[in-house]
Amino acid sequence: MKSCLCALLFSVATLGFAEDVSFLHNYTTNKISLVAGFVPDASRIIIGEPLFLTFIVSNRSEQPFEFYHVHNEMFIITATNNFGLAVKSHYFGLDGNGFVSRVTVAPGKEYTSRIFLNERCIFDQPGDYTVTCRCNFEIFSKLTNSFDQPIVTVFKLTVLPANPERITEIIQSWAHVVETNGSLGEAAQALAEFNDPRIIPPLAALVTKDANNYFAVNVLARFTNEAAADALTVVLKSGEDYEAGVAKTAITKSHQADRIARSFLPELTNADANVRIQNARAVGWTGSELAFAPLCALLQDETNAVRYAAAESIGRLGDARSFDVLTNCLSDSDFAPRIAAVRGLLALGRPLQADWVKPMILAGGENIRTYYDAIDLLRMNGGDQAAPGLASCLHFDDPSVRHPYNMRLMLALEFSPNGPKYYYKWTCDQNRDGTEAEIAENRQILSELKAWLEKHKLN
């Protein structure tokens, strides 16, 4: 499908989108020959109409062409009106933090990237515009075959006045993209351009397919009607914490929390444990006090994972009664509900106390999930208590090279706020006993850490 799209775009670009426009050009440098450029999906749009560009680079050389990039930061796109004045932009030059990706375009192959023009340029007045698109392959690094000149495409864009009939057509066309499982990301970005309740049904269908679509969730959150709230219920069930939090805020503002909570409550007694877990999580995100008693009942569920989900959701409710319930869970003989209770207390806004997790660290070890969870909770949420709390769990009488318990804590200390740095000095190898010198060094490290702990004892 992708190759067909590239071929179609390439043929359209070769013929020219308009009689006097050529989008793709030949570039040669450092023994690399490319055909590249930017191809817009249309040359005539109405005000507010979403428009995407496709960046294409075709390698015509006999060797691979390589470059690095982060998101779309290698692209610079500007536009001017008939008077030569630059249009405004939403884009600040960065797509946010991200990993640097390395792209290799094999001989005879193409690389394509889609760019949302509306994110780069604001066309809020009818008229003719000149759009200039640049790609600089050398932004992040220079490779042996680095391309030392920018790829540039200039094209004309006609922007017409807003047209209600055309808006209807556009919304329907992107709804069809969602319906046919096209590019859901592009559909969400495009529909986000319209503050029109008619976009709710296609976005509702979209989040059913992808509950973590950032654009779709945030656009649905603009609306305060029942249709939008109903669409966001799937996000409460299946979305990651950020998206579920956005959905919760929107549902609360629309005064739909109790109604949405009622839709989840019957499933808390479903025979399928996975259904109980999913609905426990969802009803917790509603923040409705109607969920408190049913969730507390789930703390006695026969399935450990259900109890875990219930405890965490009780914290998310933010109910005044939640603190006492969750602190009672900290004495559970099963550590998994304890971990859930700690997460619930954090969701409740309570600062983490080292004593909540220390018993789980001290009693844990390799291949015990709660041991790792407890260490991570203390390291990431303990603040000033993190390093002393972790250090107090060390086995100070065990300098063994073979045992990994202390090594795990050394690693956590290394990345704790103001934690002492000993991880890279500590010797650990589970396949051997270690030399006398290695054991002596480990013993010295434990001695120094014990002295450090004396100075930084927990209050």
CATH number for the domain harbouring residue 192: 1.25.10
Closest CA to 207 of 223, 310, 1: 223
> Is 410 a member of any domain?
yes
Whether residues 284 and 356 share a domain: the answer is yes
Whether residues 210 and 140 share a domain: the answer is no
Final residue of a domain: which of 107, 129, 162? 162
**Tens of pLDDT along 222-269?**
999 999 999 999 999 999 999 999 999 999 999 999 999 999 999 999
Whether residues 410 and 389 share a domain: the answer is yes
**Tens of pLDDT along 393-431?**
999 999 999 999 999 999 999 999 888 999 999 999 989
Whether residues 146 and 280 share a domain: the answer is no
The boundaries of the domain holding residue 255 are 173-455
> Is 263 a member of any domain?
yes
Whether residues 92 and 129 share a domain: the answer is yes
Whether residues 107 and 213 share a domain: the answer is no
The predicted structure's pLDDT at residue 15? 33
**Tens of pLDDT along 38-90?**
999 999 999 999 999 999 999 998 988 888 877 778 889 999 999 999 999 87
Task: Identify any residues that bridge with 58 across adjacent strands, giving them in sequence order.
Answer: 35, 110
Final residue of a domain: which of 136, 162, 188? 162
Whether residues 218 and 150 share a domain: the answer is no
**Tens of pLDDT along 359-390?**
999 988 878 888 999 999 999 999 988 999 99
Q: Are 285 and 276 in contact (CB under 8 A)?
A: no
Whether residues 74 and 202 share a domain: the answer is no
Q: Is the pLDDT of residue 172 over 90?
A: yes
> Cα separation of 131 and 150, whole Å?
16
Q: Is the pLDDT of residue 300 over 50?
A: yes
Whether residues 129 and 181 share a domain: the answer is no
Q: Regarding beta strands 65-69 and 101-105, do their DSSP bridges make them parallel or antiparallel, or are they unpaired?
A: antiparallel
> Is 167 a member of any domain?
no
Q: Dihedral, CA atoms, 169, 171, 172, 178, nearest 10 degrees? A: 150
